[in-house]
Amino acid sequence: MNKKSSHAKKSESDYFGILRDIRESKDLGEIAELFMTIIGICGLKMDEVSALNYYIIERTLKAKHNDQFLRERMGIDINDLGIDGILQIQRALVNIYVGKLKK
């Protein structure tokens, strides 16, 4: 029983090590692959992945510091936006990110 418990702890430790390494590198390719692995394990369909992506961007935009940034610097109240408004902000952020990559 100790071997099994020890093995589980090692695997968990290894998993957290991988997550720590990905966090430190901020390699979006590695992060995307991790998400794709989770999506595959869960067997999510396209509509479910789309809903999950929307949920993530909505939560990110509504985080206190991002909400404050959008409100103070751009005059946008994220709580007044519907799906289309939130997706427009996401589109703008992706365009900004891609523009940075091209430089």
Whether residues 31 and 55 share a domain: the answer is no
Question: What integer pLDDT is reported at residue 22 of this predicted model?
Answer: 84
The boundaries of the domain holding residue 59 are 45-103
Segment 5-53, tens digit of pLDDT? 444 455 777 778 888 888 888 888 888 988 998 999 999 999 999 999 9
Give me the residue label for tokens 């929307």: 54
Whether residues 81 and 67 share a domain: the answer is yes
Q: Kindly calculate the radius of gyration of the chain based on its CA atoms and give it in whole angstroms.
A: 18
Question: What integer pLDDT is reported at residue 5 of this predicted model?
Answer: 46
Q: Measure CA 38 to chain center.
A: 12
Whether residues 11 and 22 share a domain: the answer is yes
- pLDDT band for 2, please (50, 70, 90 cuts): very low
Residue 16: DSSP 8-state: H
Which amino acid does the sequence have at 76? I
Question: What integer pLDDT is reported at residue 15 of this predicted model?
Answer: 76
Whether residues 38 and 49 share a domain: the answer is no
Better pLDDT: 82 or 18: 82
Query: Rounded CA gap, 87 and 103, in Å?
Result: 25
* Mean predicted lDDT score pLDDT of the chain: 88
Better pLDDT: 3 or 24: 24
Which amino acid does the sequence have at 9? K
Query: Rounded CA gap, 31 and 39, in Å?
Result: 12
